[in-house]
Amino acid sequence: MRYVEEFNDPALARRLLDDIRATATRPWALMEVCGGQTHSIIRHGIDQLLPDGLELIHGPGCPVCVTPLEMIDKALAIASRPEVVFCSFGDMLRVPGTDRDLFRVKSAGGDVRVVYSPLDAVRIARRTPDREVVFFGIGFETTAPANVMAVHQADRLGLRNFSMLVSHVRVPPAIEAIMRSPECRVQGFLAAGHVCSVMGLAEYPPLAERHRVPIVVTGFEPLDILEGIRRAVHQLERGTHRVENAYPRAVRDEGNPAALAMLAEVFVTTDRSWRGIGRIPDSGWSLAPAWRSFDAEHRFQVTGVTTEEPAVCRSGDVLQGLVKPHECEAFGTLCTPRTPLGATMVSSEGACAAYYHYRRLRPAAATARAPQDAGSTEEATPVG
Amino acid sequence: MADTVLDPSAWTCPAPLREQGVVVMGHGGGGALSAELMEHLFAPAYGNDVLADLADSAAVELGGTRLALSTDSYVVRPLFFPGGCIGDLAVNGTVNDLAMSGARAAFLSCAFILEEGTELEVVGRIAQAIGAAARAAGVTVVTGDTKVVDSGHGDGVYVTTSGIGLIPRGVDIRPQRAAPGDVVLVSGPVGMHGIAILSVRESLEFGADVTSDTAPLGGLVSSMLEVAGDLHALRDPTRGGLATTLNEIAAAAGCGIVIDEHRVPVPEPVANACGFLGLDPLYVANEGRLVACVPAADAEAVLAAMRAHPCGTAATAIGACVADHPGGVLARSRFGGTRVVDLPVGEQLPRIC
């Protein structure tokens, strides 16, 4: 696979970091929107390499984390039905609903399957015409084209036993909501490259203009992220607030026209609740009325399921960048990936889980000591 | 959305998930849930010092002889995969568990649980593989058992093997003995078995040029013992992968471990598959690799001996045991940042994007 190793080059990373250090004259707070970016930042320790005062706030871009409790409860209700094969992306299985998760439904005899694509669910529906196959359609704009394609295919194949529980969310309304929050600290955004590869850039200039924030469309490899940060810092220092595309190998200004056309046909925008945040107008997609026969909420009549989210943890503050995960009292004690209090601890893309996995041990002692250890390792090994 | 103003004070978060008191898949995943099951359910029920070590194999004394004893069940799906089958795993897995205490496996038992309706040709191929793997490993299958369960109550073929072997005099290899200053070695590329299996799973077939690394490690360990003054710890990173094994060693020894992530050999097809599946290669299963903690003075000689053996040609040093952060494992990225390499909760779940 090309385009991976090239974007992990330490020498180039140092040059970008030098540029960032030389450019930043005062503190700035940037938000990386996408959970995949958060994952990469923490995994590679990029946040530790930035100059003091340049802060990365981990945004709400983990689709697993923001799927509302109510929708999880609907999924659990549907998956528990004996006639249903419930198909989901893997990391949704561990997300707690009110009293259990999909793993527990599976343990109790429910037919819950991990699939890698909604088209796999369509295939299962074809093979098992006597079962109701339901796909849990979550995600941002990134996964939306595959999901509408699955509905399209099911329709073309005349499958009556396929439906989708749709809980799609959209990035731009979330950025809008974050910027409108009175306590917002975000001064610039690293927009999610994959989202923009589908949607293009058109939605972002009004946001940048209205809130006077630079928005840099950014990829996911370490060099992509450093380049996104570098461009955002340059803009902030210059006082500009443009939309820039720092991920041109995947993102065209116009996005993916074929995907956009299909999205427009199958989905309509809708208000959507974000777990830990609340309702954001127009921030989601649901199936358009013409496609309602594929809507699992209607087919299984779970539209009446409503769940109040109890106020326990601070994931909402984390998602908005008001606190860092480890500043939450429950972090690492009451709240761990094993016993997640909040959705941000559930998915490995969630800010809290990322912190827990990668930053829980304060690495100060280790980084001070490790080079010495590595030295002795190196001496002991003729070939690395 | 013009009039939306968020009130962060109203931002809330769900209540904790309560344990349901049933077995979930994660209990067999080799991670934190497996460890809890062992520690809180089995160990108290059986109650003895040998078991309390929670090693890959038990070291016991019988009639003045030190023996290693181990047992393992195999439930892999599909039964046949690139590079091997359940039969290879059943032999090599138990042979390797014994090897991790320095023992050369001598005898194996082999029990089958067969599902009604399974083709005899399939069972025959697995038996042939078991015979061939045993010969390759220099071990003899001396006893066995066969049970059949109703159609629909099994996954075709389950195999359980137990093994016994002699621990050479003077050899004391246990995870507890890893110590600050030890060099951490890995015997070859990681993640191959897990990705080979995933690449042929139903509904997930993808063309990865990866075969399982399943192999017997007794010979490799013998070569290492010949040159090492004192091997401290050996472990084969099977379920839960390298990350889990390093965590187990760190926890048992009460030391920290720091690895340089870019030194961990990850074959390109494994890295690519992990990339698009949303998996971390450090957590992907291996069936023919070992991790060794070796005193720094011995590391070079041990590494040379490993590389001279067919099962260790790509052996490499990936890090060191340290006195800091006891029980914790850190990985340094090639950019200089660090991250915690944690014990997985249960099964590794693919990330969505």
What CA–CA distance (Å, rounded) separates B298 from A300?
65
User: Quick one: which H or E segment has residue A86?
Assistant: strand A84-88
Pair B153, B271 in one domain: no
Which one is predicted more confidently, A257 or A352?
A257
Q: What is the pLDDT of residues A101-154, one digit of tens each?
A: 888 888 888 999 988 889 999 999 999 999 999 999 998 999 999 999 999 999
User: Quick one: which H or E segment has residue A93?
Assistant: none
Residue with tokens 């520690």: B39
Q: What is the pLDDT of residues A298-329, one digit of tens each?
A: 999 887 776 665 566 787 788 777 788 888 88
Q: Residue B4's closest chain A neighbor by CA?
A: A177
| pLDDT for res B351 | 52
Q: Considering only residues 202 to 261 of chain B, which have any Cβ-Cβ distance to chain A shorter than 8 Å?
A: 203-204, 256, 258, 260
| pLDDT for res A91 | 74
Pair B193, B324 in one domain: yes
Among A62-66, A265-269, B296-300, the minimum mean pLDDT is found in A62-66
| CATH number of the domain residue B69 falls in | 3.30.1330.10
Question: Taking 90 as the threshold, does the pLDDT of residue A277 lie above it?
Answer: no
Q: What is the mean pLDDT of residues A60-65?
A: 80
Angstroms from B48 CA to nearest CA on chain A: 28
Pick the last residue of a domain from B147, B166, B185.
Answer: B166
Q: What is the pLDDT of residues A167-217, one digit of tens each?
A: 999 999 999 988 988 888 899 999 999 999 999 999 999 999 999 999 999
| CATH number of the domain residue A22 falls in | 3.40.50.11750
Task: Calculate the average pLDDT of chain A.
Answer: 86
Specify if A327 maps to a domain: no
Interface check for A92 against chain B (CB to CB < 8 A): the answer is yes
Specify if B304 maps to a domain: yes
Pick the last residue of a domain from B166, B183, B215.
Answer: B166
Specify if B8 maps to a domain: no
Confidence of residue A370 (pLDDT cuts 50, 70, 90): very low
What CA–CA distance (Å, rounded) separates A93 from B344?
15
Question: A103 and B204: CB-CB below 8 Å?
Answer: no
C-alpha dist (Å) from residue A8 to A14, A129, A220, A227: 11, 46, 10, 12
| pLDDT for res A371 | 32
Q: How many domains does chain A have?
A: 1
Specify if B88 maps to a domain: yes
The DSSP symbol for B14 reads P
Specify if A198 maps to a domain: yes
| pLDDT for res B25 | 74
Given A108, A343, A380, which is nearest B183 (Cβ)?
A: A380
Specify if B29 maps to a domain: no
Residue with tokens 């590389």: B307
Q: Residue A143's closest chain B neighbor by CA?
A: B353
Q: How many domains does chain B have?
A: 2
Given B275, B278, B335, which is nearest A49 (Cβ)?
A: B335
Given A44, A182, A309, which is nearest B12 (Cβ)?
A: A309
Pair B322, B194 in one domain: yes
What CA–CA distance (Å, rounded) separates B101 from A8?
38
The range of the structural domain enclosing residue A185 comes to 5-62+175-245
Q: Considering only residues 333 to 352 of chain B, which have any Cβ-Cβ distance to chain A shorter than 8 Å?
A: 333-340, 342, 345-346, 349-352
Q: What is the DSSP string of A165-199?
A: EEEEE-HHHHHHHHHHSTT----EEEEEHHHHHHH
Pick the last residue of a domain from B166, B198, B213.
Answer: B166
The range of the structural domain enclosing residue B91 comes to 55-166
Interface check for B311 against chain A (CB to CB < 8 A): the answer is no
| pLDDT for res A364 | 39
Give the global pTM: 0.80
Total CB pairs under 8 A between chain A and B: 278
Specify if A67 maps to a domain: no
- Using an 8 Å CB-CB cutoff, list chain A residues near B28: none
| pLDDT for res B18 | 31
| CATH number of the domain residue B328 falls in | 3.90.650.10
| pLDDT for res A308 | 64
Question: For chain A, first and last CA: distance in Å?
Answer: 23
Q: Considering only residues 174 to 203 of chain B, which have any Cβ-Cβ distance to chain A shorter than 8 Å?
A: 181, 183-184, 203
Specify if B334 maps to a domain: yes
Per-residue pLDDT of chain B (353 residues; tens, 9 = 90+): 333 343 333 333 222 233 557 777 777 766 677 777 888 888 888 887 777 676 778 889 998 899 999 999 998 888 999 999 999 999 999 999 999 999 999 999 999 999 999 999 999 999 999 999 999 999 999 999 999 999 988 889 999 999 999 999 899 999 999 999 999 999 999 999 999 988 887 556 666 688 999 999 999 999 999 998 799 999 999 988 999 999 999 999 999 999 999 999 999 999 988 887 778 899 999 999 999 999 999 999 999 999 999 999 999 999 999 999 999 999 998 888 888 888 776 656 555 44
Specify if A282 maps to a domain: no
Given A313, A314, A381, which is nearest B303 (Cβ)?
A: A381
Pair B223, B324 in one domain: yes
| pLDDT for res A106 | 87
Specify if A81 maps to a domain: no
Specify if B351 maps to a domain: no
Specify if A70 maps to a domain: no
| pLDDT for res A114 | 86
Among A56-60, A289-293, B291-295, the minimum mean pLDDT is found in A56-60
| pLDDT for res B13 | 28
Angstroms from B32 CA to nearest CA on chain A: 9
Specify if A31 maps to a domain: yes
Angstroms from A183 CA to nearest CA on chain B: 8
Q: What is the DSSP string of B52-76?
A: HT--SSEEEEETTEEEEEEEEEE--
Indicate which of B12, B185, B206, B303 best probes the interface with A, i.e. most A CBs within 10 Å of its own CB. B12
Question: B303 and A380: CB-CB below 8 Å?
Answer: yes
Question: B325 and A366: CB-CB below 8 Å?
Answer: yes
Interface check for A32 against chain B (CB to CB < 8 A): the answer is no
What CA–CA distance (Å, rounded) separates A103 from A106?
5
Q: Considering only residues 353 to 382 of chain A, which have any Cβ-Cβ distance to chain B shorter than 8 Å?
A: 356-361, 363, 365-367, 369-370, 373-374, 376-378, 380-382
